[in-house]
């Protein structure tokens, strides 16, 4: 009976979170846009009309037509195909970089929060030093050391985003490490490592999940910046940032080369940020269930004031 009640409670909680998260039409629209772009990137060989790296010197800098919906670039390559394939690079960098940063950052934050003392001081001072440098500058520095390539770009961006996860995880650990259930685990003979993984870490995940969602857009934007500066993906692999970098020279003759991938970057980053904000509102107990009621409260206050 208790199992049924628990499962029913979990179902109600999850449905409430989904209702709050998707309570705005803009969030639904952003989610649809992200799903469409991700599916197009996954099935790029089927969706893309041309090979993204195939040069066609007879169709250089052509405008929109039935054959090339967005025209061609300075090498005669189809712009639409390169944008679709470029989504593979951007989403891969976002997912891998966030996975690297979250795993390293959460591990360091967990160790710092549980250990305390000199270990916590050393870890957090290193995080403070990394946080003092802007993420893009740090990613540029690491990219210069590691070199170009998809793997090195993911590693450089991932390391540059570690401090945010370490800080969040440490703060969560400090708030729950003295909780009753953690003390009960210790009294039952559980080791510090086991209590940290079984009892403390799960209570730190919700805040980090929200950070991950927002960091996806930041990682994609960082990759675009690195590629724009020539330190990202190695040509001729299509990348949105590299396309903007190579296309801004032709803004007068063929502006679509730079504008189209720029719009793709803006859409993805904006949608990820908005979905992340909605997820934060849904998981935050203080905000849960209040979505959409702000306008009603303001109207009620105005009537009372009148």
pLDDT band at 295 (very low <50, low <70, confident <90, very high): very low
Mean pLDDT of the chain: 81
Please indicate whether residue 250 or residue 42 has the higher confidence score (pLDDT): 42
The per-residue pLDDT for range 8-26, each reduced to its tens digit, is 455 545 566 667 667 778 8
Least confident of 78-87, 213-222, 232-241, 293-302: 293-302
Can you name the CATH fold of 81-289?
MetI-like fold (1.10.3720)
Determine contact, residues 90/223, Cβ cutoff 8 Å: yes
217-232: average pLDDT: 85
Q: How many residues does the chain have?
A: 306
pLDDT band at 203 (very low <50, low <70, confident <90, very high): confident
Q: What is the pTM of this model?
A: 0.79
**pLDDT confidence of residue 19:** 72
In the structure encoding, which two tokens stand for residue 77, read together?
Answer: 């390559």
The per-residue pLDDT for range 154-184, each reduced to its tens digit, is 999 999 999 999 999 988 888 877 766 666 6
**pLDDT confidence of residue 135:** 86
String of b and e for 3-41 (b: at least 16 CB within 10 Å)? eeeeeeeeeeeeeebeebbeebeebeebbebbeebeebb
In the structure encoding, which two tokens stand for residue 146, read together?
Answer: 């590691």
21-33: average pLDDT: 84
Domain extents in the chain = 81-289
| CA angle (18 as vertex; 280, 218 as ends), nearest 5 | 35
One DSSP character per residue, 156-197 reads HHHHHTHHHHHHHHHHHHHHHTTSHHHHHHHHTT--HHHHII
DSSP3 helix / strand / coil % (the chain, rounded to 5): 75, 0, 25
In the structure encoding, which two tokens stand for residue 80, read together?
Answer: 């639409």
261-282: average pLDDT: 86
Burial class for 187, CB neighbours closer than 10 Å (0-12, 13-18, 19+): exposed
**pLDDT confidence of residue 294:** 47
């Amino acid at each position: 009976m208790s199992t049924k009640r628990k499962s029913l409670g979990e179902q109600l909680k999850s449905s409430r979170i989904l209702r709050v998260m998707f309570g705005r039409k803009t969030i639904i629209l952003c989610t649809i846009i992200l799903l469409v772009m991700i599916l197009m990137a996954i099935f790029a060989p089927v969706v893309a009309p041309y090979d993204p790296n195939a040069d066609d010197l007879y169709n250089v800098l052509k405008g929109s037509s039935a054959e090339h919906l967005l025209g061609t670039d300075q090498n005669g390559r189809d712009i639409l195909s390169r944008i679709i394939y470029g989504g593979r690079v951007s989403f891969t960098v976002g997912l891998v970089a966030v996975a690297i940063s979250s795993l390293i950052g959460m591990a360091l934050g967990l160790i710092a929060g549980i250990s305390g003392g000199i270990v916590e001081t050393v870890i957090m001072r290193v995080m403070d030093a990394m946080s003092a440098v802007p993420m893009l500058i740090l990613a540029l520095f690491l990219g210069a050391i590691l070199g170009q390539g998809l793997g090195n770009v993911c590693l450089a961006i991932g390391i540059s985003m570690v401090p945010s996860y370490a800080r969040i995880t440490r703060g969560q650990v400090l708030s729950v490490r003295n909780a009753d259930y953690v003390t009960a685990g210790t009294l039952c003979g559980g080791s510090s490592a086991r209590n940290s993984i079984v009892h403390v870490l799960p209570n730190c995940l919700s805040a980090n999940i929200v950070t991950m969602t927002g960091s996806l857009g930041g990682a994609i934007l960082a990759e675009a910046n690195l590629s724009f500066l020539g330190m990202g993906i190695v040509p001729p692999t299509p990348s949105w940032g590299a396309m903007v970098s190579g296309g801004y020279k032709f803004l007068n003759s063929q502006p679509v080369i730079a504008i189209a991938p720029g719009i793709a970057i803006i859409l993805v980053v904006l949608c990820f940020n908005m979905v992340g904000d909605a997820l934060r509102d849904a998981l935050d107990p203080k905000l849960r269930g209040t979505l959409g009621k702000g306008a009603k409260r303001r109207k009620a206050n105005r009537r009372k004031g009148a």
